[in-house]
Structure 1
């Protein structure tokens, strides 16, 4: 009786997971399949999930567009640079607040944490003014620098560093290691779990960013991929099949990053949970 009840609950659990997964994946799958349809079939009534005839010309055409290809490459390079800089800054600041003692440490920590509660949209205009004054409009630096310092990432890594046994640090200092040497040889090798989490978060945040690139980038050669898709939708709204093909190609790098780091992401969440 008990075994039958457990099996029933297990099947219900699987059913709920399947429904949630299907609901989440349906828009992506439909978008990918719509890229193989003709322009007239995408929004045909009544709705048809699969095309009458599978065509690949939409994907071929969007890949041949030099602006799209360049935007994919530039966005990927920018996301990788943004990811590594975010990890470095979060790690160094977390080590300072977790392991070092300096004047006004607690005050500065509170000041940093407060920024987590300020909506990002409220900071767009002040940051835009600063970027303009620094002549960073239409530059990769203007896209990358304003967002690399994240209080949330710093706080997350700090909590992980606080759980590293102090005996390791003390032993390194006794052996003559400097503070930076301790950070480099002890803390960095142990930081893989939180680095995976904040790295993926930073990569996805940069890749999916739309408002900020639209504000500071006006030159087509620096268009980010979301910016290209937004302009394409406005200028060529009648070519829905081509738009679906472009949208599908833009999500492929994100899916690949998630699939590649999925195991490490789950492990990182387990090992670096905030305590």
Structure 2
């Protein structure tokens, strides 16, 4: 009787989980299929999921643009996200190591400040951040896309908690052998931090890849525009080629999906590890 109840419970839970997954995937599937429809068929009524005739004209439109704005924005966005991931991991890992393993004057004050920064929504300081980068002359540059979001209170907190749970004997043994702080950090702590690095690195990459509001505030030069800005520019007040918008969006979601499938095991492991801490 108990086994039967467990079986029924599993079946019900599986049905609910599959239903939720299908509901979540439906907009993505519809978007991809809509990118293969012609301009008239995208918004035709009644709504059809599958296109009558699969066409590549929407992809040709966005890639045949004489200004090459879509292709360039893909490369620029990827470069910005990749550099941001590298700098973010390096800086936040170092900060997490300092808070976890070193004692210095003002440490408690800085740690409280770091914690409080996690509870401040980015939108509330966007205007202040804009005025700062404007005064520094950073508008319309790659630096304004990368630097403002590199330091993260959450990432510092995440790495600190991870480093606190590493045995101090590793660090003590290295110091006895004459290793300094930098060597210990790069030779011991970084190799042991692959899981949190993947989790936070993936989150940082996706955050920069999907960024729209901050680039729209700080970038007006076409050569530095991000992929989301280009997709938004495909819309106008009087007419919008929704087929091209769907094609551009379908291409824009490919890198995050590939990133997840490549590192899914490490991401799940890192999330579980953070939950156990």
Q: What TM-score results when the alignment is normalised by the length of structure 2?
A: 0.96
Whether contact under 8 Å (2:198, 2:263) holds in the other structure is yes
Alpha-carbon displacement from aligned partner over 1:95-136 (angstroms, at most 9, x marks no partner): 000001111111111112211111211111111111111111
Q: In structure 1, what is the equivalent of residue 145 of structure 2?
A: 143
Asked if the contact 2:159–2:196 (Cα under 8 Å) also holds between the matched residues in 1, the reply is yes
Equivalent residue in structure 1 for 2:199, among 197, 200, 207: 197
Any unmatched runs of 5+ in structure 2?
none
Deviates more, 1:139-148 or 1:52-61: 52-61
**1:237, distance to aligned residue in structure 2 (A):** 3.8
Report the counterpart of residue 207 of structure 1 in structure 2.
Answer: 209
CA offset digits 1:136-187 (Å, max 9, x no partner): 1110001100110000000001000000011111111111111111111111
Are 2:234 and 2:241, in contact at CA under 8 Å, matched by a contact in 1? no
Q: Match for residue 129 of structure 1?
A: 131
* Residue 234 (structure 1) shift: 2.7
Rounded to whole Å, the distance in 1 between the matches of 2:201 and 2:238 is: 35
Partner of 2:41: 41
CA shift at 1:238, angstroms? 2.8
The match for 1:21 is 21
Match of 1:261 among 260, 263, 266: 263
Displacement, 1:60?
2.2
Quick check: 1:160–1:274 contact (8 Å CA) kept in 2?
no
For residues 234 and 263 of structure 1, the distance between their equivalents in structure 2, rounded to whole angstroms, comes to: 42
Q: State the partner residue of 1:111.
A: 113
Q: How many residues align?
A: 275
TM-score by length of 1: 0.97
For structure 1, list consecutive stretches of 5 or more residues without a partner in the other structure.
Answer: none
| Contact preservation (8 Å) 1:193, 1:272 | no
Q: Equivalent residues in 2 for 1:168-247 (5 A)?
A: 168-234=170-236, 237-247=239-249
- Measured in 2, the distance between the counterparts of 1:4 and 1:93 equals 53
Offset at 1:2? 2.0
Q: Is the 8 A contact 1:36 1:58 kept in 2?
A: yes
Per-residue deviation, residues 57-102 of structure 1 (Å, max 9, x unmatched): 1112222231001001100111000111110111000000000111
Q: Which moved more, 1:76-85 or 1:111-120?
A: 111-120
2:90, 2:153 → 1: CA distance? 13
Looking at structure 2, the residues matched to 136 and 48 of structure 1 have their Cα atoms a distance apart, in angstroms, of 47
Corresponding residue for 2:2?
2
Q: Is the Cα contact below 8 Å between 2:234 and 2:244 reproduced in 1?
A: no
Residue number among 61, 71, 74 corresponding to 1:72 in the alignment: 74
Q: Is residue 97–residue 160 contact of structure 2 (8 Å, CA) maintained in 1? A: yes
